[in-house]
Amino acid sequence: MKKFFKVLGVIFGILIGIYIILDITFSIQLKNKIAELKAQGRPITIAEIIPPPVPDEENAAILYNKVFALMKYEEGNNLKKLSTIEKELKSLYDISQWTDEQRKEIPKLVNSEELQEIYFLLEEGSQKSKCRFNLEYEKGAETELRHLSKMRAVTRLFCVKAVLEAE
């Protein structure tokens, strides 16, 4: 029995030794790789990944936030009507599926003063050289990207307008 525990102790000691050697080896390799990436100017920490602040006059996000504030899907407004039509159709972008009534209604909605103001701000924003939303980058993977769903809605508006202009 003593021999068994001696052998077990030796095996356990060898495994601990192998672990220590591998830990030291991989730690050295990791430190070297991090140093190499730093030398290349690559960001390593969250603080280094955060984009620099953008002056308001260059930042399209300010205009896009104005658009998001205007995009209220309230009963009776043109965005709500367009959204309702979109839900009725399989594809708002396939004009061949539109009824005659929708062919009359959708262009009116898209060309309404309400949506024209949104299109104007979006166009103005697209002319800006930079866009930075105020995100909490420090949260890492938990950073909330609330603007993405709103940007998707904006993209749908532009697609409808493009389809009508291509018609």
pLDDT, tens digit, 9 for 90 and up, residues 114-134? 889 999 999 999 999 999 998
10/98: higher pLDDT: 10
> Is 117 within 8 Å of 70 (Cβ atoms)?
yes
Average of pLDDT values for 90-95?
72
Share of the chain above pLDDT 70, in %: 97
With cut-offs at 50, 70 and 90, classify the pLDDT of residue 38: very high
Alpha helix segments (H runs only) across the chain: 2-39, 46-49, 60-70, 78-88, 100-110, 113-126, 147-166
With cut-offs at 50, 70 and 90, classify the pLDDT of residue 16: very high
Compute the distance between CA of residue 130 and CA of residue 61 in angstroms, rounded to an integer: 8
Average of pLDDT values for 79-97?
74
